[in-house]
Copies of this chain bind each other. A is one copy, B any other.
Amino acid sequence: MSAPSMTLYYNAASPFARKVLVLLRETSQVDRITLKAVALTPVSPDAEVCANNPSGKIPALRLADDNVIHDSRVILEYLDQQHVGNPLIPKEGSARWRRLTLASLADAVTDAALLIRYETFLRPAEKHWTEWLDGQREKIARSLAYFENEAVTELSSHFDVAAISVACALGYLDFRQPDLGWRSTYPRLASWYYEVSQRPSMVETQPTV
């Protein structure tokens, strides 16, 4: 077996990095990657990450030829073309746009949850702004209601880019907002999430501090 040829900059708490870790497992590519754990926030960047991705964000993937690709969506599509199994991102047609739109909505949930985290954990308490927090929470609530009412059957069909993105968004909500109580409001989504959470790819990538 050849040595790993790619390096993934990640953090075990990062929901966007987790999507990549899950896809690597679902497509049997874990052995191809060297994991490089880094710690950073928007107000405390990591120098090595910045040297690889000037935005300072993770995940970033350094390829064997030393080119670096980012962000998570670009990495997911790149890695999905590097295996011989069924694609986790439909190559074309209406399925592609639908699954990528569901993934985009999941990423919007994750972005909102991250902005809430930055507001409540990084920012000094006297500078918290309630309307901002409410706006992000409403974004999450509308999106989860959509998954519950309009998309849960579709999500159940394949554990692909859409399902991985929603699962990682929900996992991040549980990690950072354990008292949110979303399961009682969105029971079908909760049932779907309970099932996909048992997958080894999800169990092995649970967020940790």
Contacts and interface: CB of A to CB of B under 8 A. Distances in A.
Contact of A70 (B101, B124, B131): B101
A104 B45 contact: no
A45 B100 CA distance: 23
Interface stretch (A29-37, A48-56, A184-192): A48-56
Contacts of A105: 53-55, 70
A155 to B, nearest CB: 14
Contact of A139 (B44, B56, B92, B94): B56
A199 to B, nearest CB: 25
Nearest to A74: B100
A142 B50 contact: yes
Contacts of A194: none
A125 to B, nearest CB: 11
A74 B122 CA distance: 31
B101 A143 contact: no
Interface residues of A, number: 52
A128 to B, nearest CB: 7
Interface string A75-95: 001100100000000001010
Specify which of A44, A54, A138 lies most central, judged by the most chain B CB atoms within 10 Å of its CB.
Answer: A54
Interface in A119-170: 122-124, 126-129, 131-132, 134-136, 138-139, 142-143, 145-146
A53 B77 CA distance: 23
Contacts of A44: 135
A67 B132 contact: no
Given A55-B105, A70-B105, A127-B129, 11 more contacts: A42-B132, A43-B131, A55-B104, A55-B109, A55-B142, A57-B108, A68-B101, A69-B97, A118-B132, A123-B129, A123-B132
Closest 10 CB pairs of A and B: A55-B108, A54-B142, A54-B146, A43-B135, A127-B127, A54-B143, A42-B135, A43-B131, A74-B100, A71-B104
